[in-house]
């Protein structure tokens, strides 16, 4: 099974100048992807423009599934571009930075955007990234949980740097998609759902959404 996760990068809503000023890359979408696909952390990462792709094979319920992950730009200025890549994603990771309140505040906008331009059944996981920076935390875990509960999302806090919960975030999203397939929520014969069954495999598309500050969201999987 191939699962395509699209990370709606538009979910990154920090202004361009912010990234330059603070020297911050964003909420960490690309770093999450790199940690998941390559098991490494790259502290300095190119600002994502357009879409970058990643993929990894995982096993769920004894079945091998290829997750195709689309890492989309998180900056607000790329939002219109990222929007066009929501289509066909089975899942998404909506990412904010726990050390930046503004990234959390913009979640609603990104969530609306993702839901508007994607499959209504798309699984969305809310990720509070940079959990290793506890001393700089601006968003309580309980706030993330409450937001997720209110909007029907799955929630996890992760650290791309320490790899904490990164595997779980992607795999749990994939499991959720898999369960929806089992339940018949996703029509696996409709490729628009982002799920493709090969001769001996199925493919699932999951989308990542990141929010502010350049998290990777959007595209492929994440």
The residues that touch other proteins, with contacts defined as CB under 8 A, are 1-2, 4, 16-17, 19-20, 23, 25, 42, 44-47, 49-53, 55, 57, 60, 63-66, 68, 75, 77-78, 80-81, 84-85, 88, 181-182, 188, 191, 196-203
* Of residues 202, 139, 131, the one with CA closest to residue 169: 131
* Token duo for residue 118: 């994607």
User: Which residue number, 97 or 157, has a Cβ lying nearer to other proteins?
Assistant: 97
- In the complex, the smallest distance separating the C-beta of residue 140 from other proteins, rounded to whole angstroms, is 28
With H, G, I as helix, E, B as strand and everything else as coil, classify residue 119. Answer: coil
User: Which residue number, 17 or 120, has a Cβ lying nearer to other proteins?
Assistant: 17
User: Which residue number, 57 or 146, has a Cβ lying nearer to other proteins?
Assistant: 57
User: Which residue number, 81 or 133, has a Cβ lying nearer to other proteins?
Assistant: 81
| DSSP states along 143-172 | HHHHHHHHHT-EEEE-BTTTTBTHHHHHHH
- In the complex, the smallest distance separating the C-beta of residue 99 from other proteins, rounded to whole angstroms, is 17
153 burial (CB, 10 Å; 0-12 / 13-18 / 19+) is buried
Q: How far apart are the first and last CA of the chain?
A: 16
Spell out where the chain has E strands: 2-7, 51-60, 63-72, 91-97, 123-129, 154-157, 195-197, 202-205, 209-210
User: Which residue number, 49 or 133, has a Cβ lying nearer to other proteins?
Assistant: 49
- In the complex, the smallest distance separating the C-beta of residue 143 from other proteins, rounded to whole angstroms, is 28
The answer to whether residues 90 and 205 touch, using CB atoms and an 8 Å cutoff, is yes
- In the complex, the smallest distance separating the C-beta of residue 70 from other proteins, rounded to whole angstroms, is 9
Q: Give the length of the chain.
A: 222
User: Which residue number, 45 or 130, has a Cβ lying nearer to other proteins?
Assistant: 45
- In the complex, the smallest distance separating the C-beta of residue 47 from other proteins, rounded to whole angstroms, is 5
Beta strand 2-7 pairing with 195-197: antiparallel
- In the complex, the smallest distance separating the C-beta of residue 58 from other proteins, rounded to whole angstroms, is 10
């Amino acid at each position: 099974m191939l699962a395509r996760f699209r990370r709606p990068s538009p979910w990154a809503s920090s202004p361009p100048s912010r990234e330059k000023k603070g020297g911050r890359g964003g909420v960490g979408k690309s770093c999450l992807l790199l940690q998941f696909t390559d098991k490494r952390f790259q502290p300095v990462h190119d600002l994502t423009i357009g879409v970058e792709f990643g993929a990894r094979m995982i096993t769920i319920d004894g079945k091998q599934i290829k997750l195709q992950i689309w890492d989309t730009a998180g900056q607000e200025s790329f939002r219109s571009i990222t929007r066009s890549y929501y289509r066909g994603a089975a899942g998404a990771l909506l990412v904010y930075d726990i050390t930046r309140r503004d990234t959390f505040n913009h979640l609603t906008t990104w969530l609306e955007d993702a839901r508007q331009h994607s499959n209504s059944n798309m699984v969305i996981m809310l990720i509070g990234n940079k959990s290793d920076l506890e001393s700089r935390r601006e968003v309580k875990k309980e706030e993330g949980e409450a937001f997720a509960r209110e909007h029907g999302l799955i929630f996890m806090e992760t650290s791309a740097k320490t790899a904490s919960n990164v595997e779980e975030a992607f795999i749990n999203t994939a499991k959720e998609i898999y369960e929806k397939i089992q339940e018949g929520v996703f029509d696996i014969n409709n490729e628009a759902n982002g799920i493709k069954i090969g001769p001996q495999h199925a493919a699932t598309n999951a989308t990542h959404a990141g929010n502010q500050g350049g998290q990777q969201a959007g595209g492929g999987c994440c």
